[in-house]
Amino acid sequence: MVSEAIFDAINRLLSSHIIESKLLNENELYAEVAQSTLKDDCIKIYKNIDCVLIDIFGNDTSEIDNNIIVYYTFAVRSSNTLITIYVKLDKSCSMRIDSITREIPAASLYEREIQDMFGVVFNDILDNRELVHHGNFPLNIHPLKKDFKVNTRLDFEKRELEFASISGSGVFEVAVGPVHAGIIEPGHFRFSVAGEPIINIEAKLYYVHRGLEKLSENENYMKVLLISERISGDETFTNSLSYSQAIEKLNGITYLPIRALYSRVIFSELERICSHIGDLSGLCVDTAYVFAAGQFAMMRRWIQLLCEQLTGSRFLRNANKPGGLRRDFIRNNDKIILECLNKLDKEFKETVAIIKNNGMFIDRVEHTGILSNSIAVDLNAVGPGGRASGIKADVRKDFPYAAYSNLKFNVPEHNNCDVNCRMNVRIEEVIESISIIKQALEKMPEEGPIAVDVGNLKPYSYAFGMTEAPRGENIHFVMTGENNTILRYKVRTPSFCNWPALCYAVKANTLTDFPLINKSFNLSYAGNDL
Amino acid sequence: MHNTIKKLFQHGTVTVDYPKKPIKSSFITGIPEFDYDKCTRCKSCVNSCPTGAIVFVDNDKQKEKSPAVNVDECIFCRFCEEACPNGAVCLSNKFELAQKSRDALRTTPICVIDDDVKGLEYELLGTQLKEKVSKIFGKSLNIREVDAGSCNGCDNEIMALNGPYNDIERFGIHFVASPRHADMLLVTGCVTRNMEEALIKTYNAAPTPKLVVAVGACACSGGIFKNSYAGKNGVDSVLPVDVYIPGCPPRPQALIYGILKAIGRM
């Protein structure tokens, strides 16, 4: 439950500004404020309550009241509470609100996203460039407005994209992408370099923008489950879990079968192990350490094979659904899971010992790509990237879900802020994950149902679903429409938060270290672009 | 150093013997198959299919209209299996699904709303190209991977091709850094608006003769991202495609099967 202290604090800070306030889903606090006081209210909350800005998003509620609502969500990590300030903008009047980027830097990307997708204009915005749209997108078209049809075929325009350029003698620009040299996703980077060191980097993403949020609108909630599984291939389970949790919450399902909760823990952790080992393999590839890369790739395949044996999918697809799991995948399989984990545990520790004793490898990763704590806090860096810079945040601890509150585990803490640190966070997390799965298998009841029926969805209700993805804090907002459809599905994956952090971390490093630093954050382009 | 060498010998060769020996595993998720004796033609599977891959059409062997699947649109979500009251639909473990034309994957003809499909006229060209490729390149092939809007599932599986278990280099197949060095483009994703130009430029940059392989349900038909303002419905609405590899995502062996099929070694 929300502590009295937070209630009091919000009432004291916003007092007369609050038009309407309500508490939903046990820990979500919503307060409506006026357009004119919005900026002050957000800043008051940010400065006076120990919280972080985790999401800003729009929602076109034409079906209900001809408004566009903009939500500002703050997370109080110390007391399991989400504070959401929202403002209703009348579509027929001017849709202008004040930008808060100068006071809360993490808001920058969200504001640009809302400008592109909803046409809400932010006064005094720091960076007015388009974020989602590219030069080919017609001006003044805003896809997430309800009057825009999802299958509209738009014309291709030609506009030049703006990039911040740095000039001076000996300063050159290097353009990379969107088609890269390796087998990775598309993104365009402009490096301004003085010889080898990078002065500035500009990233233009959204090449794999598939219009996923728009595609989810007015679709049955079970189809949206499949879309959520396909946000980012290697985060399939955690995304579908966030979505399922949001649906369960908004429909008032508070107790799931215990077997379902533990199964969800097991699959989430398998995915985390798989992702982290893949990253370690990537780091070794980028330092041309082929032996270790092969070792980690081999271990990753063990886990993928285990996932396939359990669920029939190497990426844990078709496993989750609102209300529990699609089938009881763990039954009679305890033994193969334990066997695989024991094998992995031994091999992993031995390989880690080898790479940590390799001076040439450590030389590459140490003191490379430093993301200082103050910048990480300002940009709300999440996941291993944040934890390596001294941000102690983990959704599994702060906002416990599934069965995590019954399990013992440590969240690794590091303060050196470099690639080595992020690598160590991952290594420690893999070992913790193995122990979590073993505990979960032990504590799981032998028999019992695996899912409950969700029933019909309550129309026009909403909730947040939060999970700790392998890459960090993952937040999904779901609002339902009528007849079991989804009205608004907002996805904020950890990659969205960490891209600006990455751009800071590469500055002053050499161009050749960029792939290494990029890999140490391991951000998903698909998860960012949606 | 001692530990490194010890490890090198500890696991021996881990590479899978595919395609010399077939993969026999009951865990693989493959194409949906219908048991028409059990089927009551209730259409639950047709209604449950999120991408419209299951169609209800005349069947040569069956006397009445029966459900059938268009594999290029299937995302292997198992919704049909769960919806069927009689257990007549079952996802088999056949994963070697790659075909040279999209029609071979389908039971009903392609119904295109507004994107042109450039498949048929290029089919003849494709066969000529294939002969040229085998004549010029021998048995070696250089591949450039292009992600044109996938969820990165397919890309992860393509990356796994280079891993110790699949080791595609043993077939003389290499992944190269530039389209200028490539004989084949491996395209994933539904082709988003923002990648369309880059994909065409990559195609033009690759020297002829060249092959295009569409990987995954999105690349074959748009998959679950079909009919979006931000993308096209598959690679063949932009480029001529030589081989389609369905799957969501296709497992590495399915990719090997498709690539070898494209160069006529399967």
Contact indicator for B218, B225 with CB cutoff of 8 Å: yes
- Is residue A466 within 8 A of residue A473, CB to CB? The reply is yes
How many beta carbons lie within 10 A of that of residue B162, not counting itself? 20
Asked if the C-beta of B116 comes within 8 angstroms of chain A's C-beta atoms, the answer is no
Contact (Cβ atoms closer than 8 angstroms) between residue A122 and residue A113: no
**Residue B77: which CATH number?**
3.30.70.3270
pLDDT at B119: 43
Instruction: Identify residue A417 by its one-letter amino acid code.
Output: C
**Residue contact A524–B152, C-beta within 8 A:** yes
pLDDT at B226 over 50: yes
Name every chain A residue with its beta carbon within 8 A of the beta carbon of B14. Answer: 298
Chain A residues touching B145 at Cβ < 8 A: 183
Give the per-residue pLDDT at A431: 92
Q: Are residues B233 and B128 in the same domain?
A: yes
Residues A508, B228: Cα–Cα separation, whole Å: 40
Whether the Cβ atoms of residue A311 and residue A317 lie closer than 8 Å to each other: yes
Q: What are phi and psi of B29, to 5 degrees?
A: -95, 120
Q: Are strands A96-98 and A121-123 parallel, antiparallel or unpaired?
A: parallel
- pLDDT for res A435: 92
Confidence label for B121 from pLDDT (cuts 50, 70 and 90)? very low
Domain limits for position B62: 32-91
- B190 with A223: Cβ contact below 8 A: no
Residues of chain B contacting A214 with CB distance shorter than 8 Å: 228-230
Burial of residue A124 (number of CB atoms within 10 Å: 0-12, 13-18, 19+): exposed
Interchain contact B197–A (C-beta under 8 A): yes
Q: Does the beta-carbon distance from A309 to B27 stay under 8 Å?
A: yes
- Which of B155, B192, B227 shows the shortest C-beta gap to A209? B192
Asked if residue B106 belongs to a domain, the reply is: no
Give the whole-angstrom CA distance, residue A37 versus residue A14.
9
Chain A nearest CA to B257, separation (Å): 18
Pairing of strands A472-480, A462-469: antiparallel
User: Hey, is the C-beta of B160 within 8 angstroms of any chain A C-beta?
Assistant: yes
Say what the ipTM of the complex is: 0.87
Quick one: chain A helix, strand, coil %, rounded to 5? Answer: 45, 20, 40
- Asked if the model's pLDDT at residue B96 lies above 50, the reply is yes
| pLDDT band with cut points at 50, 70 and 90 for residue B120 | very low
Contact criterion met (CB < 8 Å) for A183 and B145? yes
CB pairs under 8 A between A and B: 182
Please indicate whether, in this complex, the C-beta atoms of A312 and B91 are within 8 angstroms of each other. Answer: yes
Q: Are residues B155 and B212 in the same domain?
A: yes
Which string of DSSP letters, residue by residue, matches B42-105?
Answer: --HHHHH-TTS-EEEEE-SSSSSEEEEE-GGG-----HHHHH-TTS-EEE-S-----BSSHHHH
B22 within some domain: no
Q: Under an 8 A CB cutoff, do A294 and B164 touch?
A: yes
* Partners of residue B114 in chain A, C-beta under 8 Å: 153
pLDDT at B266 over 50: no
- Comparison of pLDDT for B165 and A303, the residue scoring more: A303
The Cα of A223 is separated from the nearest Cα of chain B by a number of Å equal to 6
- Give residue B124's pLDDT: 47
Closest residue to B229, CB basis, from A151, A206, A234: A151
Of A183-192, B164-173, B217-226, least confident by mean pLDDT is B164-173
Nearest residue in chain B measured CA to CA from A179:
B146
Same domain, B259 and B175: yes
Are the C-beta atoms of A246 and A265 separated by less than 8 Å? no
Same domain, B120 and B199: yes
- Residue A195 tokens read as 């010889």
User: Please, which residues have CB within 8 angstroms of residue A343's CB and are 6 or more apart in sequence?
Assistant: A302
- Write out the DSSP string of A314-344: TT-TT-EETTEESS--STT-HHHHHHHHHHH
Token pair in block for residue B77: 């979500």
CB contact under 8 A, B150 and A233: yes
Q: Looking at the structure, tell me whether residues B249 and B164 fall in a common domain.
A: yes
Q: Is B172 left (phi over 0), alpha (psi -120 to 50) or beta?
A: left
B169 and B87 co-located in one domain = no
Spatial strand order of the sheet with B211-215 comes to: B173-175, B141-147, B184-188, B211-215, B243-245
Whether residues B242 and B156 fall in one domain: yes
CA distance B88 to chain A (A): 18
Q: How far is A14 from chain B (nearest CA, A)?
A: 40
Contacts of A524 in chain B (CB under 8 A): 152
pLDDT of residue A276: 92
Residue that is written with structure tokens 């003191």 in the block:
A367
Same domain, B119 and B238: yes
Contact at CB, B4 and A354, closer than 8 angstroms: yes
| CA–CA dist B193, A133 (Å, integer) | 10
B111: confidence class by pLDDT, cuts 50, 70, 90? low
Amino acid at position A208, single letter: V
Q: Looking at the structure, do residues B78 and B193 belong to the same domain, yes or no?
A: no
User: For chain B, how many structural domains are there in total?
Assistant: 2
Cβ of A186 and B197 within 8 Å? no
pLDDT, one tens digit for every residue, chain A (530 residues): 567 777 777 777 777 778 888 888 788 888 888 888 888 888 888 888 888 888 899 888 887 888 888 999 998 888 888 888 888 888 877 788 888 888 888 888 899 899 888 888 888 888 888 888 888 888 888 888 888 888 888 888 888 888 887 888 888 888 887 888 888 888 898 888 888 888 888 888 889 898 888 888 888 888 888 889 888 888 899 999 999 999 988 888 888 888 888 989 999 999 999 999 998 998 898 888 888 888 898 898 889 888 888 888 888 888 888 888 888 888 888 888 989 899 899 889 988 988 888 888 888 888 888 888 889 888 888 888 888 888 888 888 888 888 888 888 888 888 888 889 899 999 999 999 999 999 988 888 888 888 888 888 888 888 999 999 998 889 999 998 888 888 889 999 998 989 889 888 888 888 888 888 988 888 888 888 88
Same domain, B121 and B201: yes
Chain B, window 33-62: residues with a beta carbon less than 8 angstroms from a chain A beta carbon: 50
pLDDT for residue B162 = 83
Give yes or no for a contact between A345 and A474, defined as CB atoms under 8 angstroms apart. Answer: no
Please tell me whether residues B126 and B180 are part of one structural domain: yes
The verdict on residue B37 lying in a domain is yes
Contact A387, A371 (CB under 8 A): no
Residue B98 lies in a domain: no
**Best residue of A176, A205, A206, A208 to probe chain B, by most B CBs closer than 10 Å:** A208
Are residues B85 and B216 both part of a single domain?
A: no
Q: Does residue B170 belong to any structural domain of this protein?
A: yes
**Within a domain: B133:** yes
Between A273 and B26, residue with greater pLDDT: A273
Look up tokens 């060209």; give the residue: B125
| CA B53, chain centre distance (Å) | 15
Asked which of B91, B107, B127 is the last residue of a domain, the reply is B91
Of A157-161, A381-385, B42-46, B109-113, minimum mean pLDDT range: B109-113
Asked if A313's CB is within 8 angstroms of B82's CB, the reply is no
Residue B100 lies in a domain: no
Residue B189 sits in a domain whose CATH number is 3.40.50.12280
Q: What is the pLDDT of residue A273?
A: 92
- Identify whether B249 is part of a domain: yes
Is residue B74 pLDDT above 80, yes or no? yes
For residue B12, is pLDDT > 80? no
